[in-house]
Each structure stands twice: as C-alpha cells, then as structure tokens.
Structure 1
Amino acid sequence: MTFAQVFRDTYLPAERLNKSKASCDKEEGFLRNWIEPVFGDKPLRDIAPFDLERLKKRMLDAGKSPKTTNYVLGTVRQVFNFARRHGLHEGENPVRLVKKPTSDNRRLRFLTRAEAVRLLEALRERSQDLCDMALLSLHTGMRAGEIFALTWMDVDLERRLLTLRDTKSGKNRIAFMTGDVAVMIQARAAERMDAHGLVFPDRNGKKRVEVSNVFQIVADSLGMNDGITDRRQKLVFHSLRHTYASWLVEQGVDLYTVKELMGHGTLAMTERYSHLAPDTLRRAVRVLEAGLKRDKVGQVVNLGGQRQEAHYEP
C-alpha cells in the first residue's frame, strides 16, 4: 500500500474517531499540499529518510516555518506508527532518522505600561469581557486556555487566589490577584448566574475555545503592529502573558520566582527574560565588588616576597 492509500483508507478514518475535525482536516491538508507530491505514491516499505529530507527541504524552501515543517513530519511519523500497530508495515519508522529543523519561535513582544493602559481602554469600549480577560492575563500571566477554563470554584476572593487546574504543564498552580484583578473579579461575581460555572463563559454560557478576533482588530487599530513583519514581535493575546513576566523581571523579581508564577516546567523557559534585568545584574555585581573591597581593607598581602599592608579605597 502506498503512503497516500494508508493515510486515506485506514489512518484518517481511525483518527476521526479520536481527534477533532479541525486536527484531522489539518493533517489531510498536509497530505494534499506537501506529503503527496513528494512520496504519496510510494509504498511504505520504499520510503526512506532521503524522501523525508526532500519533503523538509521543499517546505523550508517554500518559506514554511520549522514549526509547521515539524508538524508535517510528525504526521508522517504517526502514519508509520499506526501502520506498524495494525500490521501494515514491518520496517523501521524513517522519521526517526531525520533531524528536525529548529528555530527560535518564541514570542518576544511585550507592552509598556502606557501601551497596556491604551489597549485596555480600547478593549473596554468594544467588549468588557475581552477587557477583563486581557487585564487578567496582564496581571497574572494566565494563558488564554487557563482563563477560559477558570470556574467560580477556583476563585478565592478573600485570599486573592486563583487555582489553575490541568494547565499546559499538566500541573495545577496558583495565580495571585492584584488589586485591579480583585476588583474586576468582584464585579463579575456580583453578576454571575451559576456559582459553580465559568468565570468567562461565551454568550451561550459555554466554555470559550479561542480569543475573539476583536482583540486583534483593536490592537491593530491602535497601531501596535504597524510596520512589524516578524511574527514574534506582533502583538497577540499571548503577548499579555509575556508582558507579565517581563514586568516582573524589570522590577527585580528573580527568575526562579518568575518561573514559579508562570508555571514554566524548567528555568530555561524563563531565561528568555533575563536580558530585561540589566540594572538588577549591575546591582548584584556592585554588591560583590563592595564585599571584595571590604575584605581587602587592612589585608596583608605579599608583594615581591615582602609582607605589606594593603589599603584600598572603598
């Protein structure tokens, strides 16, 4: 059986029982646009790492990001794994032998205090819900999905705590309300319909699945993305979480504390913000320098074999 036959006849029908329609449609698009033109008509046993290198090169040459290219290679890997489990292929999975393209796709954009105020004011004019969610992300670092999943059972106004459950890292964590967030949550609490329901339901009372495009419309109307071509620098909703971490570091909060507040799995994920704390780093070196100078005052040192009293200016 060719790769395309396995994909369409067996893999995709099975995946539609376990994955969302959007995910399956995306993978089908990968087959049609990228995989099939390279080796879709080849039997699985004849597909080699070289074919995958051709696929990778074709995508990168077409301007596709390493992230998208990895998604396509991941789809190929899943098809081979599926075929092995169902006795349609006995050989090795060739994707294992292909090096993944890498690049730094992390977003770099964060807002100044003045920009944040302008954005919140403009959002409030269009949507109070969207303004409240933006404020929450700016002041707690919560992801959009964490905001959508927040229920009133997770809100402790007395201690100003929010419990975030089943986060991206797979662990629960606590978010701490600022005064502005507490006021906003209190106002929403006065109007809530269901004491056990969502804090930010959609207009039908259901859980939201994405940020309204009104956010992007407002950000663009304020000129916050004018002239920006690097997508990592474009202002999107996730930039608000990034802004929260950036503000913390700029105020001198240590990276380990920022890591815990952000719910990062490793400190390496937090180190992207370290360059925002030059004053903090300089102060640390000055503290070290002052200590060294204190130790040297009155210290006896050996210069040229002679014992001399060293006197250093502090």
Structure 2
Amino acid sequence: MRKSSGLKRQKVRTSPTIRRYFEAFLLDGQSRGLSPKTIAFYRDTLIVFLRNFGDWPPEELTADDLKNFLRHQFERGMSHGGVHAVWRAVRAFLNWLRAEGVEALDPKSVKGPRLVVGEVPVIGEAEVRRLLEAAETSSTPLRDRALILALWDTASRASEVLGLRLDDVQPEGLRVRRKGGMWQVLPVSSVTRRAIRVYVQAERPMSDSDRLFLTRRGDPMSYEALRSMLWRLSRAAGQAYKPPHSFRRGAATTMVRDGLNPFALQTLMGHRTPAMTQRYVRLAQADLSVLHAEHSPVSRLLRRK
C-alpha cells in the first residue's frame, strides 16, 4: 500500500496536473452560476488536497492515496465535520473530472469519513483566554489577537469574519455579509475595536487587497490559513485544537448563559428562523446542566451532613 499521509511525492508530469484541472473546475462552477460562497468553499477546503496532490496527474491518484490523506487530516487534529467537508469537496472534484472525460479515481471506491451526528465542538472562555496568551508570542501577534476577538465577540461564521474589508470596520461595529448576501452591522466591544485598530496601524502588511485580515505575505486569509493559525496557537497553549466554527457556538452559548434572550441572539447570529437559534439555546442549557450537577445547592447540602 502506498502511503501519502500528507507528504508530497514527486511525480513526472505526463499529463495536465490536478492543480491545472482544479482551476478549470472552479471556472466551470462559476460559469454554471454556483454561488460565490460555494466557489469559496471549494477553493478554501481543497487547499490542503492541492498541497499534497496538486502536481500529480489525476490518473495516478489511487484509493489508498486518498484514504491515507483523509487519515492524516484526523491525525492533524481536524474534526470529523472538517474532514467530512474536505471529503465532500474532493468527491465533487473527482466526479467533475470523470464527467469531463478525464481518467480519474472513482470516489465511490473510497468509503468517506462518517459524519458524527451530534458532534458539536464548543470552545470555552478559558480556552479562548489561553489562545490569546499564546498569540502574544506569535509571529503575527496583533493580527491573531484581533482575529480571535472578532470571532468570539460577534459569534459570526468564520467566512464572514475572513470576508471583512477595511471599510467594514465602522463606528457602529463590524459590517458582515450574511448568507444570502444580506449585510448586517454587528456591535463589538471597545476591546475588540481597539485590537483591530492596533493591528491595522502597526502590523497589517501593505497589500493591494482591502481585506482586513491578511497573511504575512499580504494575501487575504483563507479558511485553511485560519485553521492552521488556531492549530498552531492551540499547540502553543497546550490544549486540544477546536475548529473555527467552535467560536460561533461557544460565543452563542456564553451569551445565552449570561442572559441574552433568544430573539436577540437570532438577530445577532443572522438566523432566519428561531429553530436555528434553538440549537445554541439547547447547548447553553446542556452546559447549565453540567454546571448545576457540579454546584447543586442540594448536593452541597447533603455532602455537608
């Protein structure tokens, strides 16, 4: 069995590479009217796939290569949901190749990772605090701090925070583009506002891009870059990695636990229906159940007898 396990293997170019076909895949999706978010999902999610196999001819990718690649993502600490998202994107790309008449692996020959129902990683206040402390020794400390605070303060989707542009930082808060293209200005604390201002003034590199959060080279941060940043800071903080969406869940449950009413939470999170918000209310209630079990006044009373 050949093992790729996330390591590049030199290939002799005998036909167009996977990377070249990938650009055609994105162009085809745009011409078919796929939404910008769908295109961005494929582009950002498949970065790690291209990093491993981009220079390979597609006909040389085997089922074992793909299985080892997916296994390696779990070993790197990616959640089941994250690996499942990568698998969905890879599967769509391989199916497109075959539909275009390109010799490529049939994704049906690989049993993809199961999506664990009910798996809901949630990051807590203490974990966020340790990430902020770890960011102080990062090569981009001001950006990392501002980005973490923006995620935690707004309970926004990672894509919404990464999509922020310089003029989206407004006196009233941060203007994010929600699903469906709607714009919404979200209030932020003075601490987050100051962190963003300091980052822009002292650390943000010069760039032709007007995106707020950039890499050290001046490119807009991708989802994979954010995930790598959190992975690096989690290791430095000595804690388990949790994916970007865990900030949205954690912030929402924290606000509900602190008394924010569900209607206000629905507005803040950009949910179209109350049913979507109830998931976060249930998470907060489950959290309260655990806390109550630990600090029940009746349990304390009986223990003291």
Whether TM-score is above 0.5 comes out as yes
Give 1:133 deviation, angstroms: 0.8
SS of the residue 1:104 aligns to: coil
Does residue 235 (structure 1) correspond to residue 219 (structure 2)? The answer is: no
**Counterpart Cα distance in 1 of 2:271 and 2:120:** 15
For the 8 Å contact 1:109–1:239, the answer to whether it is kept is yes
Which entry has the higher C-alpha Rg, 1 or 2?
Answer: 1
Q: Which amino acid aligns with 2:127?
A: E
**Counterpart Cα distance in 2 of 1:273 and 1:263:** 13
Residue 178 (structure 1) aligns with: 189
Over 3 Å counting, the alpha-carbon distance change for 1:104 and 1:280 in structure 2 is: closer
Q: TM-score, normalised by structure 2?
A: 0.56
Does residue 116 (structure 1) correspond to residue 128 (structure 2)? The answer is: yes
- Number of equivalent positions: 232
Does residue 261 (structure 1) correspond to residue 274 (structure 2)? The answer is: no
SS of the residue 1:163 aligns to: strand
Residue 176 (structure 2) aligns with: 164
Residue 221 (structure 1) aligns with: 236
CA RMSD in angstroms comes to 4.8
Does residue 125 (structure 1) correspond to residue 154 (structure 2)? The answer is: no
Residue pairs, 1:243-282, within 5 angstroms: 243-264=250-271, 266-278=273-285
Give 1:28 deviation, angstroms: 7.6
**Counterpart Cα distance in 1 of 2:262 and 2:136:** 32
Does residue 139 (structure 1) correspond to residue 168 (structure 2)? The answer is: no
**Counterpart Cα distance in 2 of 1:125 and 1:198:** 24
Of residues 246-255 and 208-217 in structure 1, the stretch that sits farther from structure 2 once superposed is 208-217
**Counterpart Cα distance in 2 of 1:267 and 1:34:** 43
SS of the residue 2:232 aligns to: helix
Does residue 151 (structure 1) correspond to residue 132 (structure 2)? The answer is: no
SS of the residue 1:218 aligns to: helix
For the 8 Å contact 2:158–2:244, the answer to whether it is kept is yes
Give 1:81 deviation, angstroms: 5.8
For the 8 Å contact 2:15–2:57, the answer to whether it is kept is no
Residue pairs, 1:16-55, within 5 angstroms: 16-19=23-26, 22=47, 25=53, 32-34=61-63
For the 8 Å contact 2:135–2:233, the answer to whether it is kept is yes
Higher RCO structure, 1 or 2 (CA under 8 Å, sep 6+)? 2
Give 1:131 deviation, angstroms: 1.4
Over 3 Å counting, the alpha-carbon distance change for 1:28 and 1:178 in structure 2 is: farther
Give 1:177 deviation, angstroms: 1.1
**Counterpart Cα distance in 2 of 1:219 and 1:36:** 28
Residue 37 (structure 2) aligns with: none
Residue 52 (structure 1) aligns with: none
**Counterpart Cα distance in 2 of 1:123 and 1:137:** 14
For the 8 Å contact 2:143–2:199, the answer to whether it is kept is no
Q: Which amino acid aligns with 1:236?
A: P
Residue pairs, 1:64-79, within 5 angstroms: 70-71=88-89, 74-75=92-93, 78=96
Which of 186, 189, 207 lines up with 2:220 in the alignment?
207
Q: TM-score, normalised by structure 1?
A: 0.54
Task: Using the aligned pairs only, state the percent identity.
Answer: 21
**Counterpart Cα distance in 1 of 2:227 and 2:86:** 24
SS of the residue 1:260 aligns to: helix
Q: Which amino acid aligns with 2:189?
A: T
**Counterpart Cα distance in 2 of 1:281 and 1:242:** 15
